[in-house]
Amino acid sequence: MSGRKKTLLKVIILGDSGVGKTSLMQQFVNNKFSHQYKATIGADFLTKDITIDGNKQVTLQIWDTAGQERFQSLGVAFYRGADCCVLCYDVTNEKSLNNLSSWKDEFLVQSNVSNPQDFPFIIIGNKIDVDENKKISSLSKKLNNITNNQLGGLNYPVFETSAKDAINVESAFEVVAKMALQQEELNDANGNDVSDDYNDAINIHLEGDSGNCAC
Amino acid sequence: MNKDKSVLQGCLSTISHQSNLMKQNLNDNNLLVALKNSSNFLNELRVNQLSPKQYYELYISIFDSLEYLCNHLAGSYNMKKKKNKDTSFLSDLYELVQYSGNIVPRLYMMIAVGTTFISTGDAPTEAIMKDMIEMCRGVQNPIRGLFLRYYLSQKIKDLLPISNEHEFNNTVEFLINNFIEMNKLWVRLQHQGHSSERELRYKERKELKILVGSNLVRLSQIIDDYNDDHYSSSNFYMKKIFPIITEQIIQCIDPLAQSYLIDVIIQIFPVNFHFKTLNELLTKVILNLNPMLNKSELIDTLIDRFINYNDDEINLNDFEKPEDFEILKKSLFDNFWKFYLSLVDKNLPIKEHSNILVNYLKLSINFDRDNYENLNRIYQFLSEYNFDENEGENVENLHEKEEIWLNLLIIPIRNFESIINLLNLPFFSEIFNKLTNKSYQKTICLEILNKLLDAEDIIITSTDDIDIVFKYLLVLIKESTELNISTKMGITKSFKINDNKTLTNDFLTNQNKICKILSKLNHKSTDFSNKVSDLIYIKKKYLSKNISSIILTYPTLIQLILNNLRFLGMIRKSDIKVVNQFKGLSMILDELYEYHGDYYSDLIVSLYLNLAIVCDSLNLSTLTFEIFNKIFIIFEEKLILGQGSPSNLLNINNDPHNSLNYNSIQYQTIVTVVNKLYFVRNLSKDDYQSLITKVTLYGSKLLKKQDQCRGVFNCSHLFWWTEPSPYQVEDSEEKDEEESKETKETEETKETEETKETEDHEEPEEIVEPKEKYLFKDDKRVLECLQKSLRTADSCIDPYLSNQLFIEILNKCLVFEIYGNEMITANYINRLIELIKTNLDNLVDTNNLKDNDDKEFKLYVEIKSFFNRTLTFIEQQKEDEERFLDIET
C-alpha cells in the first residue's frame, strides 16, 4: 500500500436548538457565516483536513445534529464510533447551559463508547459577540458550578467562541482534533474498536474463520 | 422486538466482519476481493424485518465502511495521478460494480465509486450524476429506496457542480428529482401491507421523514451557495423551487407528508424568502392541503419564524433583508388575514380557530404594536362569526367557544402597551359583553385591574378614560356577594360586614386594588378641581352601584377628595365653589353613613373629623361647625343608643384600671373628637364653646364611672389651649403640588409653625399682621372639669379604681400647673396628694394586704408605684419649674 492513510476522526456537535452548532461548523469548515437561521434536519457531517502538531494529517468528520428532537426521528446511530463530542451552549441562553449535562448523558448512553469515564468532551459557549447585557448574568460562576460539580461535573476544556466573528473557533476545533486523535489512538491500541464487540457475539451462520481478521 | 434485535445484531456483525475483511484486502491490494467483501456487507441492507431506526444503524455502519473504501480508492487514484500512471481504473470500476448480482449492493457500490470518481475532478460529472439518479429508480422498496437515495444525496452534497448556470440548473433538477422520487416512495409506504398495519406504517414513515427532508436542506444550501451576476436566491426560490416542490406536496395528498414538508420548508428556507412567497404559501398551498390536516400548527411555525426574524432584524445586514421589507412587513397581517377568511369557509374545528387567532395576536403584537385595527378585526370576526353553525348550539360548544374568547381577550391585555386603546376597541367590549360565563368576565376584569396597577405611567387621564376602564371594573364592583359552596364551608377565606353579609376575601382584595387605582388616578396633575370632579364622577357612576363595595371603597375615595379639596382650598380660599365641593363631600360621607352607620360609626366619625379639621384649616367656620354637629348626631344616634358596633374593639380585655385600655367605643369616640376639636382654631368663640360644652357633657354622661371621669378630665384640655394647631394652613405663597399624603402635610406645617400667624379668635375678620398667638383659656372651666372628675372618681365603689383615677387626675393637674392655670394651685395639688396618700394607707389597713400572690395586693402595688412615679416626677420638675416648689410630696 502506497502512502500513509489519513486518520479519520469523528466529532459530534450537540446542544440545544439555536445555540449555533451549524454556524460553528460552517465557520470552521467553510469560513462562512449567515444571520439567516435555518433549522437542521436530521444529522449530517462536513469534513475538513487539518494538520495536527505540524505533522499529523487528519480528516475531521464533524457531525452537526438537529437540536430539535422532532428533526431527529431516525435516532442517533451516528454517535457510534465518535472520537470526540462537542457540547454547545449559547452565552445568552441559560437553559442551553443547564442542558449541557443532559446532552452529555444522552451521548454516553447512545454512543456506547468504551471509556465513558474519560471520553473526550469539550464545551463551547457560542455567541460571545453579543452585547454584554444580553449574556447570562454571572456566567463564569454558573459555568464553574457546572464544570466543577463533584456529582457528574463536566470537567472539560471550555471555549468561548463567536461563529459570527470567527473568534476562537479555529483554536477550539484544534483542541477537538487533538483530543479526538488521542481517543482514536487509544482505541487502536486497545484494539477495542466498537466493531469488535460484535465479533464476540458472533453468529453461527457466519463462516467459521472469523478470528483470522485480528492479525 | 427481541427477535428484531437479534436480527439487527446479526446484520451488524456480518457488516463488521466483512468490513474488516475488506479493509484487510484493501491493504493487501486485493481490490476485487475487497469489492466482493463490500458487496457482501451491502447485502445486509436487503433485510426486511428491521424498523427504520434499526435500518439506520446498518446504514451508518455501512456508510463508515464504504467511506473507508472511497478514501482508499481516492488515495490510490491520487497516488497514480502523481506518478503519471494510468488512472482509468476508477471509470472501469464504475462499470465493473454494475455487474454485481443484487440491485441494492450494486447501486450503493455504484454511488460510492461514482462519487469518488467525481471527487477526483476528472470524471464526466453530469453523465455520472444522471446515470446514478436514473439507476436509483430500480429500487422501489420504500425503505431501501429511501436510504439508497439518501446515500446518494449524502455522498454527492459536496460535489454538486454549480460553477455555471447550466451546472446549477442541472444540480437543482437533480435534487428536485431525488426529492420527488423519495417523497413518492415515502408516501407509497403507507399503503403497503395489510390494512391492519396502517398504524405501524404511519409510525415507520414518521421515523423516515428526515430522509425526505434532507433533499430540501440541500436545495436550500445550494441556492445560497450559487453566485452569479443576475442571480437572486430569493427570486430563484420564488420562481423555480417553490412552485415545483409545493406542487408535489399538494399532489401527494398524504397528510403526514404535507404537514412535515411544509414545516421543513418553513424551517429551512430563510424568512425573507417566505416574505416573498407568503401569499402563495398561504392561499395556494396551505389552503389546498388535505382537509384532515391541522393548519394551525403550520401557521404557528410560520408566525414564529417571522417573529424571531423581526426580533433579530437589527442583526441583519441589508443584503439579507428583502428590498421592500417595510412594505412586506405592513402587508404581513393582511395576507394572513385573507388566508384566514378563506380558511373559515372550510368548516374549521373551533380549536383551530383559536390556535390561529392566538398566533395572529402574537404577530400583530410583535410587528405592529401600536396598530389596534388588526385586533379589532379579529374581535369583529369573533363576534360576527357563528362557530356553531355546523355543530349545533349546545352547552359544550358554548363553553369551548367562550374559553377561546377568554384567551383571545387576555393575551393583548398582557402584551399591549396602551390598555385604554385596547379596551376602547368597539369589538373588544362587544366580545366581552357577549361572554355568558360571568367568571370569564371577572377573569378579564382582574387582568385589566392588575395591568393598571402595574403600569408606571398615568393611564387614566380623562373622563372618557374613566368610562373605558371602569366599565370593566364595574364587574368587580358589582360582583355578586352570593357565596359559593367552598366559602360557605369555610374552605376559602371570607369576612363579614354589617353582621348579615359575608364577603369573600377575593372581593376584599379586589376592592382594595380598585382603591389603589383611585389614588393613581392622574396623580401627578395639579388640577385639583378636575381630580375631585373625576373622583365624584367615578363614585356616582360606578362605586355607588354596590353597597358592599361602598364600605370598602368610600373611605379611600373620601380621603382622596379631601386631600385634593385641601389643596384647592389653599389656592382659592373660600371660593363658593370650593365650599360647595366640601358640601358635596359631606354628602358622600352621609351616604356612607346611611348604608353603614349602624356598624362602622366609629370609622365614619373619624372621616367626618378629618373633613372638619380641613374645613377649619381653610377657615370655613360655618362648615366646620355643622360637621361637628353632625358628628354629635352620629354619636347620639348610633353610639349612645348603643347600636354602633365597636368594629375593632371586640377582643380587648376590659381592665378598668388601665387607662390606656379604652373601656368602650363611646369613650374612645369622645377621646378622638377631643383630640381633633382641641386643634380647631377658626370657629367663633360662641360656636367653639357650644361644641366643647356639648362634648364635655357627653363625656360626663358615659355609661361607666371610669369612662365619665376620664372623659371629663380629657375634655378639660379643650378649655385650655397650650399650643397652636398642627393642622393650621399657613397663607403661604408656595403651594406644594406634590404632597398629597396627609402625613407629609402635617410635617410641612409643623416646620413653618414658628412663623405662622393665628387669627384672633373673637374677631376672626380682623387679621392684619402676624401677632402674638391667641390661645383660648378658661381657667374656671378647667377647674370645674377636674372637680367633676374628682367627684366621679370618689363615687366609685371599687377603691382601687377610685385611687387609680385620683392619680390620673393628679397628673392632669400637674399639666395645667405647668401651663399656668392659676386656678390649679399648689395648695389644690397638695390636698389631692394628701388624699391619695391617706386612701392608699387605708387600703392596706382595711384589706390586710400582705400576701404576694393576692390579686388585690398586686393591684395595690401597681397603683402605689404609679403614685410614686408621679411624685418622683414632681421632685424632678422642681429643679426647673418654680411653680412646683410649693408642692409637697
CB neighbours of residue B442 within 10 Å: 17
- The most confident of the ranges B137-141, B370-374, B548-552, B566-570 is B137-141
Local confidence band at B44 (pLDDT 50, 70, 90 cut-offs): very high
Separation in Å, CA of B170 to nearest CA in chain A: 23
Residue B317 is predicted with a pLDDT of: 60
Residue A158 is predicted with a pLDDT of: 93
Q: With CB atoms and an 8 Å threshold, state whether B210 touches A78.
A: no
User: What average pLDDT does this structure show over A7-34?
Assistant: 93
CB neighbours of residue B488 within 10 Å: 12
B738, pLDDT greater than 60: no
Local confidence band at B505 (pLDDT 50, 70, 90 cut-offs): confident
Q: Where are the domains of chain B?
A: 1-159, 796-889
Residue B415 is predicted with a pLDDT of: 78
User: What average pLDDT does this structure show over B672-692?
Assistant: 89
Residue B755 is predicted with a pLDDT of: 35
CB–CB of B275/B322 below 8 Å?
yes
Local confidence band at B746 (pLDDT 50, 70, 90 cut-offs): very low
Contacts of A111 in chain B (CB under 8 A): none
SS3 letters for B609-674? Answer: HHHHHHHHHCCCHHHHHHHHHHHHHHHHHHHHCCCCCCCCCCCCCCCCCCCCCCCCHHHHHHHHHH
Choose among B5, B51, B184, B202: nearest CA to A75.
B51
Choose among B672, B615, B614: nearest CA to B648.
B672
pLDDT over 70 percentage in chain A: 85
B270 touches chain A (CB under 8 A): yes
Q: Is A42 left (phi over 0), alpha (psi -120 to 50) or beta?
A: left
CA A162 vs CA A34, A129, A141, A167: distances in Å:
12, 6, 20, 5
CB neighbours of residue A185 within 10 Å: 12
Compute CA A42 distance to the chain's CA centroid, rounded to the nearest angstrom.
Answer: 16
Q: Which tens digit of pLDDT belongs to each residue from B756-789?
A: 333 333 333 333 334 345 778 888 888 899 999 9
B489, pLDDT greater than 70: no
Q: Give the span between the Cα atoms of B147 and B434, in whole angstroms.
A: 56
Q: With CB atoms and an 8 Å threshold, state whether A198 touches B16.
A: yes
Residue A160 is predicted with a pLDDT of: 95
Q: With CB atoms and an 8 Å threshold, state whether A5 touches B71.
A: yes
Q: Give the span between the Cα atoms of B470 and B457, in whole angstroms.
A: 18
Q: With CB atoms and an 8 Å threshold, state whether B53 touches A78.
A: no
CB–CB of B185/B140 below 8 Å?
yes
A4 touches chain B (CB under 8 A): no
User: What average pLDDT does this structure show over B615-633?
Assistant: 89
Contacts of A39 in chain B (CB under 8 A): 267-268
Local confidence band at B753 (pLDDT 50, 70, 90 cut-offs): very low
Compute CA B685 distance to the chain's CA centroid, rounded to the nearest angstrom.
Answer: 57
Q: Give the span between the Cα atoms of B190 and B200, in whole angstroms.
A: 9
B42, pLDDT greater than 70: yes
Length of chain A: 215
CB–CB of B378/B408 below 8 Å?
yes
- Which residue shows C-alpha cell 500500500? A1
Residue B392 is predicted with a pLDDT of: 55
- Which residue shows C-alpha cell 392561499? B283
B224 touches chain A (CB under 8 A): yes
β-pair partners for B865: none
Q: Where are the domains of chain A?
A: 7-190
Q: With CB atoms and an 8 Å threshold, state whether B315 touches A35.
A: yes
Query: Which chain B residue has the Cα nearest residue A215?
Result: B24
User: What average pLDDT does this structure show over B441-446?
Assistant: 89
Query: Which chain B residue has the Cα nearest residue A75?
Result: B53
Q: Which of B131-145, B301-315, B647-661 has the lowest mean pLDDT?
A: B647-661
Contacts of A59 in chain B (CB under 8 A): 71
CB neighbours of residue A199 within 10 Å: 17
Local confidence band at B375 (pLDDT 50, 70, 90 cut-offs): confident
Grid coordinates standing for B716? 378639660
A78 touches chain B (CB under 8 A): yes
Grid coordinates standing for B872? 418622683
B21, pLDDT greater than 60: yes
B849, pLDDT greater than 70: no
Local confidence band at A214 (pLDDT 50, 70, 90 cut-offs): very low
CB–CB of B866/B659 below 8 Å?
no
Which residue in A3, A78, A210 is closest to B75 by CB distance? Answer: A3
A109 touches chain B (CB under 8 A): no
- In B, residues 68-97, which contact A (CB 8 Å cutoff)? 71-72, 75-76, 79
Q: With CB atoms and an 8 Å threshold, state whether B270 touches A38.
A: yes
Which residue in A35, A201, A205 is closest to B9 by CB distance? Answer: A201
Q: Which tens digit of pLDDT belongs to each residue from B390-424?
A: 555 566 777 878 888 888 888 888 877 778 888 88
- In A, residues 6-65, which contact B (CB 8 Å cutoff)? 6, 8, 34-42, 44, 46-47, 59
Sheet holding A7-15, edge to edge: A43-52, A56-65, A7-15, A84-90, A121-126, A158-160
Give the H/E segment covering residue A155. Answer: none
- Which residue shows C-alpha cell 400647673? B817
User: What average pLDDT does this structure show over B428-443?
Assistant: 85
Q: Which tens digit of pLDDT belongs to each residue from B684-718?
A: 888 999 999 999 999 898 888 888 999 999 999 88
Separation in Å, CA of B268 to nearest CA in chain A: 5
CB neighbours of residue A197 within 10 Å: 15
- Please compute Rg for chain A using Cα positions: 19
Phi, psi angles (nearest 5°) of residue B770:
-60, 125
A150 touches chain B (CB under 8 A): no
CB neighbours of residue B301 within 10 Å: 18
Q: Could you tell me the end-to-end alpha-carbon distance of chain B, in angstroms, rounded to an integer?
A: 107
B214 touches chain A (CB under 8 A): yes
Give ipTM to 2 decimals.
0.86
A213 touches chain B (CB under 8 A): yes
Grid coordinates standing for B775? 390661645
Average pLDDT, chain A: 83
Higher pLDDT, B116 or B464: B116
CB neighbours of residue B351 within 10 Å: 12
Q: With CB atoms and an 8 Å threshold, state whether A42 touches B264.
A: no
Decide: residue B357, CB within 10 A, 0-12 exposed, 13-18 middle, 19+ buried.
buried
Q: With CB atoms and an 8 Å threshold, state whether A81 touches B64.
A: yes
Which residue in A2, A34, A195 is closest to B20 by CB distance? Answer: A195
Contacts of A73 in chain B (CB under 8 A): 206-210
Q: Which tens digit of pLDDT belongs to each residue from B315-344?
A: 666 555 666 777 777 788 999 999 998 888
* CA dihedral angle for residue B848, residue B854, residue B860, residue B862, rounded to 10 degrees: 160
Q: Which tens digit of pLDDT belongs to each residue from A106-129?
A: 999 999 888 888 899 999 999 999
User: What average pLDDT does this structure show over A2-31?
Assistant: 87
Phi, psi angles (nearest 5°) of residue A160:
-110, 125
CATH fold for the domain made of A7-190? Rossmann fold (3.40.50)
Phi, psi angles (nearest 5°) of residue B767:
-110, 120
Contacts of B264 in chain A (CB under 8 A): 41
Q: Give the span between the Cα atoms of B33 and B35, in whole angstroms.
A: 5
SS3 letters for B297-342? Answer: HHHHHHHHHHHHHHHCHHHCCHHHCCCCHHHHHHHHHHHHHHHHHH
Contacts of B271 in chain A (CB under 8 A): 36
Q: Give the span between the Cα atoms of B813 and B786, in whole angstroms.
A: 8
Which residue type, as a one-letter code, is found at position B490? G
Higher pLDDT, A143 or A162: A162
Separation in Å, CA of A79 to nearest CA in chain B: 9
B30, pLDDT greater than 60: yes
Determine the 3-state secondary structure of B495 from DSSP: strand
E strands, B25-98, in order: none
With both helix axes pointing from N to C terminus, report the angle between B705-715 and B665-677 in degrees, rounded to the nearest 10: 0
User: What average pLDDT does this structure show over B630-652?
Assistant: 66
Which residue type, as a one-letter code, is found at position B812? K
B60, pLDDT greater than 90: yes
Q: Which of A186-200, B107-121, B567-581 has the lowest mean pLDDT?
A: A186-200
Which residue type, as a one-letter code, is found at position B508? L
Query: Which chain B residue has the Cα nearest residue A194?
Result: B16
Q: Which of B332-341, B584-593, B772-781, B832-841 has the lowest mean pLDDT?
A: B772-781
Q: With CB atoms and an 8 Å threshold, state whether A8 touches B316.
A: no
Q: With CB atoms and an 8 Å threshold, state whether B213 touches A34.
A: no
Contacts of B216 in chain A (CB under 8 A): 41
In 3-state terms chain B splits into helix, strand, coil percentages (rounded to 5) of 75, 0, 25
- Which residue shows C-alpha cell 454549480? B162
Q: Give the span between the Cα atoms of B393 and B400, in whole angstroms.
A: 11
Give the H/E segment covering residue B454. Answer: helix B438-454
Give the H/E segment covering residue B32. Answer: helix B31-43
Query: Which chain A residue has the Cα nearest residue B158?
Result: A46
CB–CB of B851/B857 below 8 Å?
yes
Q: With CB atoms and an 8 Å threshold, state whether B224 touches A34.
A: yes
What is the biggest distance separating any 2 CA atoms in chain B, rounded to whole angstroms? 142
Grid coordinates standing for B563? 386631600
Separation in Å, CA of A214 to nearest CA in chain B: 9
A133 touches chain B (CB under 8 A): no
Residue B663 is predicted with a pLDDT of: 62
Grid coordinates standing for B293? 390536516
CB–CB of A1/A52 below 8 Å?
no
B462 touches chain A (CB under 8 A): no
Decide: residue B229, CB within 10 A, 0-12 exposed, 13-18 middle, 19+ buried.
exposed
A112 touches chain B (CB under 8 A): no
Average pLDDT, chain B: 83
Which residue type, as a one-letter code, is found at position B560? L
Kindly give, in sequence order, each residue whose CB lies less than 8 Å from that of residue A66, ignoring residues fewer than 6 positions away.
A17, A39, A40, A41, A42, A43, A72, B210
Give the number of A-B residue pairs with CB atoms closer than 8 Å: 117
Separation in Å, CA of A139 to nearest CA in chain B: 23
Q: Give the span between the Cα atoms of B815 and B820, in whole angstroms.
A: 9
- The most confident of the ranges A121-135, B491-505, B870-884 is A121-135
Separation in Å, CA of A1 to nearest CA in chain B: 6
